[in-house]
Chain A
Amino acid sequence: MSDEYEHKLEAKSDYVADTSSVSTPDIDSVPDAELPDQELYHSHSWWTTYVFSQDAKYIGIQYALTAIGTGLLGLVLSWLMRIQLAFPGLGWLDPASYYQFVTMHGMIMVVYLLTALFLGGFGNLLIPLMCGARDMAFPYVNMLSYWAFVVAVLVLLASFFVPGGPTGAGWTLYPPQAITAGTPGSDMGIILMLISLILFVAGFTMGGLNYIVTVLQLRARGMTLMRLPLTIWGIFTATVLAMFAFPALLVGCLMMTLDSLIGTSFFMPAMVSLGEKLTYEGGSPILFQHLFWFFGHPEVYIVALPAFGIVSDLLSVHSRKTIFGYRMMVWAIVGIGALSFFVWAHHMYVSGMNPWFGFFFATTTLIIAVPTAIKVYNWILTLWRGNIVLSLPMLFSLGFIVTFLNGGLTGLFLGNVTVDVPLSDTYFVVAHFHMVMGIAPILVVFGAIYHWYPLITGRMMNEALGKVHFWITFIGSYAIYFPMHYQGFVGVPRRYFEIYDSPYIDTSTLLLNKFITIAVLIVGAAQLLFLYNLFASARLGKKAEKNPWKANSLEWQTPQMPAEHGNWGKELPKVYRWPYDFSVPGAKEDYIPQNQPPSEIIGAKVEKT
């Protein structure tokens, strides 16, 4: 690349006064590496290359495809539920299957799609590449992590085929009803669900170990923490959260498994079921709720923080501008992560808690809105006077900002105890969390896939198809969830499998239910377009040039694109700057990659932020 810049050499340097020599070793020089290069595992057979791969890039793709495959099942389940809700007289689903589908849809989307895709998929793909490492710190453990996830998914899917079907306890799996006769899947289904979650946590812990150690210890020379792209900050912080939050889920799952299998009374109170007194006594269902939400609320940010990070990078690259307030963005990510452990009980306002307890959690919930709002302002200020390119990643990022803002604002309503109590368990809640942690992160996922697709396949995805996909998905999601806010206000309860004409239900609800279902089917069908684009473009897509988006971060600077095994050829990259030097005055190009030596860009004056 250096030859492009040679004519600039007479220009004055910002860094050094003396520009007489051509390639000043002074300003390019980096101290010799004190740390040995990483030893890599080299695969020898088809099995160890493509199936039991230890290369983080492959593992990332494996994770992503498995997660998306499972997510498709979740999508189909949502169609089935919506058809039932729109046409209550039809007898499309019985109540048991409706509850089972609600449960499986929720669990699949939150844990097996979003968590696995953001951390397992994007984490594995991007962490080594963006940090300038050859691979993860412990590649073998990384491989185990993926296969534990696969087994977890298989166990989850197996629950569809056992007597009684999958559990229908709702994704929160509250005892006692989750393991009491009368709830669908209360024997086998719930056990398989709990085992699947335990496996998922075990697998994730192995992956998380890798992400943390790799980000902290295996970066390229010159890559300080504050030179990392925000994507890595988001994924890293989310991983730390997950390492602290998943144990709570594990504890809950283990104790409930024992309650169900051998009849201990950790969570099960003394109760009468079907006219018979059960052997349980004294257990505390509220304890499970606390454990579940101590995991469950950080889980929201485990999904949201990588999305925040990724969207920051997409916005910066596609508006050719430095991210506004980089340090503030990092602090906000870290701050949100820390605060997310102090808000869990706002999911339990109606569980009969002390009002002061609710007051405390309402306060922390509102405090967490501060760093979140800072992030939204900074995204908008990044766009301000930027050279906005309405590429697919940009469209999806813009869609994310609006949707996240929308979902965040309804969160302010639900975070207040007094407002929450009448809205609790209505469609308002459903609309809120789908906006904020369903649609918003999924838009980022799409944007990220369109953005990093050339990095994986060397080809671009089809732009026209992508635009159709974006507009249908974006407008469609509003057609689905805006009416749900209204339904919530008029008091339509969630988790009812059939809502028909009655004195308690507004007629408009029935009409809206039909409207929402039609929108759901259309949006769902648009995802088939995306899938076609995803798979067909690998063969038919336009060949991508190297670094097609003219981005600065290291993942685009590998000698080969897609990167080969070991990522960096012979020499590991050296990093000279942060990844946000876009449109630098005096530079020939409007971007300066992180690993470009200062001598090649002598004319450039780095913008003061």
Chain B
Amino acid sequence: MSEKKSIFQLLTEKPWEKDQIESDNKHQGQTLSLTKQKLGLRTVMAASTVLFSLFVVAYSDRMLVSDWRNMPEPWLLWLNTGILVISSLVFHQTTKYAKKEIYDKTKNSLYFIGFLAYSFLIGQLIVWYQLMHNGYYATSNVANAFFYLFTTIHGLHIIGGIYFWGKTTSKFIKKSLKKDEINNLIDICAVYWHFLLAVWLVLFGLMLSS
């Protein structure tokens, strides 16, 4: 029973009617044709999107007050952004390798993604160090505080991603899962990577444009 129904169709079913009873009895008990991990990830991404949107709203509101002093964007941030873009692209390619069962390439690109993720985090820490070295402390202006807050929350999301990347990679190398299951996990990590890239682009764009 994988026929697609819109939410309005679902909510207007009359479960007591004869025809409906017949088709309902054939229902498999799943609303969306997604694995539970995929739906779980979407739920988490929805909640994270709300979280980041509220940060953006708070930022835009606080920006209007006259004490706001813009912070310089170090060139290293562009490099970090580049790293994130590349890792997203590589992850996209990895899902294709995994589907074609090219074991070596999948493994190597998974390692490469991990390397890029750690480099991104280290890069962000270096940006922090540079900024503090130049006197842009969180307390000196609220624009700086927002920058540190954004990068921290985004970084924590990346760390969460690295945790699941690690689990997926070790499962892939141990070959402890069936092909579908491991591809499912790799897909999920890839989607999460694209999501974090999108979040970063929005946050970085916001800070650039203000």
Contacts from A to B (Cβ < 8 Å): 14-15, 30-31, 33-35, 131-132, 137-138, 205, 208-209, 212-213, 216-227, 243-244, 246-248, 250-251, 254-255, 258, 262-266, 279, 281-284, 287, 291, 294, 326-327, 330-331, 334, 574-578, 606-609
Contacts and interface: CB of A to CB of B under 8 A. Distances in A.
B18 interface: yes
Interface string B103-116: 00000000000000
Contacts of B24: 222, 224, 226-227
A284 B65 contact: yes
* 8 nearest A-B pairs in the assembled complex, by CB-CB distance: A282-B67, A247-B51, A219-B29, A264-B145, A282-B65, A226-B13, A578-B15, A216-B31
Contact of A217 (B34, B44, B61): B34
A219 B142 CA distance: 48
Contacts of A15: 18, 21
Interface in B119-165: 138-139, 142, 145, 149, 153
6 contacts: A131-B29, A219-B30, A219-B31, A223-B29, A243-B47, A264-B138
A244 B50 contact: yes
Contacts of A224: 10, 13, 15, 24, 27
Given A137-B36, A255-B149, A287 B15 contact: no
Contacts of A244: 46-47, 50
B68 interface: yes
Interface size class of B (residues with CB under 8 A): 35 or more
B29 A284 contact: no
B50 A247 contact: yes
A104 B26 CA distance: 51
B50 A283 contact: no
Contacts of A218: 29-30, 36
B201 interface: no
Given A251-B58, A265-B67, 8 more contacts: A221-B28, A221-B29, A224-B15, A225-B11, A225-B31, A264-B138, A287-B62, A575-B25
A294 B47 CA distance: 14
A213 B40 contact: yes
Contact of B58 (A34, A255, A279, A576): A255
Nearest to A210: B40
A296 to B, nearest CB: 14
Given A578-B16, A608-B16, A251 B54 contact: yes
Given A226-B10, A248-B54, A282 B68 contact: yes
Interface of B: 1, 10-16, 18, 21, 24-32, 34, 36, 39-40, 43-44, 46-48, 50-51, 54-55, 58, 61-62, 65-68, 138-139, 142, 145, 149, 153
Given A262-B139, A263-B139, A609 B16 contact: yes
Contacts of B138: 258, 262, 264
Contacts of B66: 282
A204 to B, nearest CB: 10
Most buried by B among A265, A287, A576: A265
Contacts of A247: 47-48, 50-51, 54
B58 to A, nearest CB: 6
B36 A217 contact: yes
Nearest to A133: B29
How would you classify the secondary structure of chain B's contact residues: helix, strand, loop or mixed? helix
A238 B77 CA distance: 40
A294 B149 CA distance: 21
B43 A212 contact: yes
A287 B58 contact: yes
A222 B142 contact: no
A578 B17 CA distance: 11
A421 B162 CA distance: 52
A145 B89 CA distance: 34
Contacts of B32: 216-217
Contacts of B43: 208-209, 212-213, 243
Contact of B40 (A209, A266, A326): A209
A577 B16 CA distance: 7
Given A217-B34, A255-B58, A576 B67 contact: no
A250 B21 CA distance: 44
A254 B150 CA distance: 11
A218 B44 CA distance: 18
B15 to A, nearest CB: 4
Contacts of B26: 30-31, 222
B47 A205 contact: yes
Contacts of B62: 266, 282-284, 287
A73 to B, nearest CB: 29
Contacts of A243: 43, 46-47, 50
B150 to A, nearest CB: 11
A93 B123 CA distance: 54
A314 B204 CA distance: 52
B36 A327 contact: no
B15 A258 contact: no
Nearest to A268: B142
A291 B28 contact: no
A258 B145 CA distance: 9
Nearest to A608: B16
A287 to B, nearest CB: 5
B70 to A, nearest CB: 14
A222 B23 CA distance: 9
B142 A283 contact: yes
B181 to A, nearest CB: 11
Nearest to A219: B29
Nearest to A38: B36
Contact of A251 (B15, B30, B39, B51): B51
Most buried by A among B14, B21, B44, B67: B21
Contacts of B67: 265, 281-282
A111 to B, nearest CB: 17
Contact of B54 (A137, A223, A291): A291
A248 B68 CA distance: 23
Most buried by A among B1, B44, B58, B149: B58
Nearest to B141: A265
Contacts of A34: 28
A327 B34 contact: no
A137 B32 CA distance: 14
Contacts of B55: 251
A171 to B, nearest CB: 20
Contacts of A609: 14, 16
A250 B68 contact: no
A243 B149 CA distance: 21
Nearest to B145: A264
Contacts of A251: 51, 54-55, 58
A30 B44 CA distance: 34
B10 A225 contact: yes
A173 to B, nearest CB: 16
